[in-house]
Structure 1
Amino acid sequence: MQDAQDIIDTAHEMADAARRAILPLFRSAALATDNKRPTDFDPVTEADRAAEKAMREVLARRRPEDAVFGEEYGHREGSSGLTWILDPIDGTRAFICGAPSWGVLIGLSDGQGIRYGLIDQPYIGERFEGGLGLSRLTGPDGEHPLAVRRDVALEQATLMTTFPEIGTPAEAEAFRRVAEKVRLTRYGLDCYAYALLAMGQVDLVIEAGLQAYDIAGPLAVIEAAGGIVSDWQGGSAAQGGQIVAAASELLHRQALDLLND
């Protein structure tokens, strides 16, 4: 993209703005929380809304021609062919519990695919970035390249997902087929699990029921680090749904085979 540097600078300015909006409210006893679904607990907080507003303000000033799709405030049309996909707090349940496993997700689509993304964890101060020639982690101990872990056999792999009761009963059973084959399965890290995969700390992330804003940023980060992200049939993951993220082609293929057994 001809304006790659402006895209990168804009994404970082958005992430910085989201940090400023969120951090004063994290672990705050006065945090206001609403429930989006009366039949289930799907929380949204004032921090979610404030962070997305802050990011949209940056875009309106710097790149008004781009479209925006955010979890809290929906679509804004654009004329450039580019769409920013925003999740102001991925892991709101963790956020309201005070656990620092949530993150700010930013992805950029050109209509053909996700070209760039960020996973930002403001409390820890870690920012994972991928696409447009970049693959890096910036954090308290400086800047480091991102790279997935290679040559790990399925029986030695570490698998992560957010909820033990993943998806529908059929999806949960499919997940268990993979979990029974790996060395270690861990739960509950939301978007931070994808960051760990890009760092080379874990080998597989499998989830279901995701939205486009849940996966756009992580998808770009993992692919830039050398990993693979698809749906459970091996197709595009850009629209969410059933997600498999793997550190290698072999693990990806083995996971797909077990999920579709």
Structure 2
Amino acid sequence: MSRKKFPASPVGKGGVDRDIELAERLADAAGAIIRPAFRADWKDERKIDASPVTDIDRAAEAAMRAIIETDRPDDGIIGEEYGTLNENAGRQWVLDPIDGTISFMAGRPIFGTLVALMQDGWPVLGIIDQPIAGERWVGAIGRPTTFNGQPAKARSCAALDSAVLATSSPHYFGASEAEGYMALASAVGGNAKQAMIIYGGDCYNYGLLASGHLDIVCEAGLSLYDYAALVPVVEGAGGTMSDWQGNPLDAQSDGTVIALGDPARLEDVLEAMG
């Protein structure tokens, strides 16, 4: 299989360390707004696509954008709540202040803040931050992923029938996508009652995969801000991420996502999904 090439490492003034430092500051700023509001008071409404958004989502993204606009005014920003700034910039920060807003609203601490840095359309740095549990995964191309400052390592998986599969919700799949997912679920579990399948979790599942607790995450319908931060985290832990055709993920990807702790299982997953 021919795979597209991406930059070997992030490129930025001051280097990777400064980019990681900034990304962690962004996650810290979002967390400072999210934590006091968790299981407390917030306002919500429905967006044009009928998905929920809270005033906390918007405040957290605004705080992150203010830092970028001050510290890196030439960089671009792509945010879920406030759109794109400097869209032609080679370096773009991709922000999802609360990935898993429904979980946040329900008081379930399995949502996360996502911060990514894209270089020429490729994700080169990513953070998954769970501000309630105090859990943070940091990944950068060319460096090992860390979980709360310690190395994170995805696990090997000998065969699909022994894998643990996760997805946020089967209701997010369209009809054709649901067929592919159910075929994979069958290959993983065979008998549905015996299948090791986890539902719910959003970005948190990808952190668990990077730390060796899950084997496969399969999703569809994702936007750039949903997946950009996940790629460096998963791949820096020894895993791999692709679309449903096996192509690596970039800014032009179609929103289908497969994350694997063991890259050796990619062909098996693609075959199972048809």
Amino acid corresponding to residue 126 of structure 1 in structure 2: E
- Aligned pair partner of 2:130 in 121, 130, 136: 121
Q: Provide the residue aligned with 1:241 in structure 2.
A: 255
Q: How does 1:30-69 map to 2 (within 5 A)?
A: 30-37=41-48, 41-69=50-78
Check if 1:18 corresponds to 2:30. yes
Q: Hey, what's the Cα distance between the residues in 1 that align with 2:145 and 2:69? A: 27
Q: Provide the residue aligned with 1:159 in structure 2.
A: 165
- Aligned pair partner of 2:104 in 95, 112, 121: 95
What is the CA distance between 1:249 and its match in structure 2?
A: 2.4
Q: Hey, what's the Cα distance between the residues in 2 that align with 1:209 and 1:4? A: 31
Instruction: Give per-residue Cα distances to partners, 1:142-164, cap 9 Å, x unaligned.
Output: x3211110143211000000002
Check if 1:250 corresponds to 2:261. no
Check if 1:179 corresponds to 2:185. yes
Instruction: Give per-residue Cα distances to partners, 1:32-76, cap 9 Å, x unaligned.
Output: 001013xx6410001100110010111112111110000000000
Paired residue secondary structure (1:65): coil
Q: Give the structure-1-normalised TM-score.
A: 0.93
Using the aligned pairs only, state the percent identity: 40
Q: Provide the residue aligned with 2:80 in structure 1.
A: 71
Residues 219, 258 of structure 2: 8 Å contact kept: yes
What is the CA distance between 1:250 and its match in structure 2?
A: 2.6
Q: How does 1:183-194 map to 2 (within 5 A)?
A: 183-194=195-206
Amino acid corresponding to residue 212 of structure 1 in structure 2: L
Runs of 4+ in 1 over 3 A off after TM superposition: none
Paired residue secondary structure (1:201): coil
Residues 215, 240 of structure 1: 8 Å contact kept: no
Q: Hey, what's the Cα distance between the residues in 2 that align with 1:99 and 1:91? A: 9
- Aligned pair partner of 1:195 in 207, 224, 233: 207
Q: Hey, what's the Cα distance between the residues in 2 that align with 1:255 and 1:220? A: 21
Q: Provide the residue aligned with 1:111 in structure 2.
A: 120
Q: Hey, what's the Cα distance between the residues in 1 that align with 2:131 and 2:254? A: 24
Which ranges in structure 2 are unaligned for 5 or more consecutive residues? Answer: 1-10, 189-194
Amino acid corresponding to residue 43 of structure 2 in structure 1: A
Instruction: Give per-residue Cα distances to partners, 1:212-258, cap 9 Å, x unaligned.
Output: 00001111100111111010011132345111111122321111112
Greater RCO (CA < 8 Å, at least 6 residues apart): 2
Q: Give the structure-2-normalised TM-score.
A: 0.88
Please report the RMSD computed on the Cα atoms of aligned residues, expressed in angstroms: 1.5
Paired residue secondary structure (1:34): strand
Paired residue secondary structure (1:181): helix
What is the CA distance between 1:79 and its match in structure 2?
A: 7.1
Q: Hey, what's the Cα distance between the residues in 1 that align with 2:144 and 2:265? A: 24
Q: Matched residue pairs, number? A: 253
Q: Hey, what's the Cα distance between the residues in 2 that align with 1:78 and 1:41? A: 26
Paired residue secondary structure (1:87): strand
Change (3 A) 1:144 1:152: farther
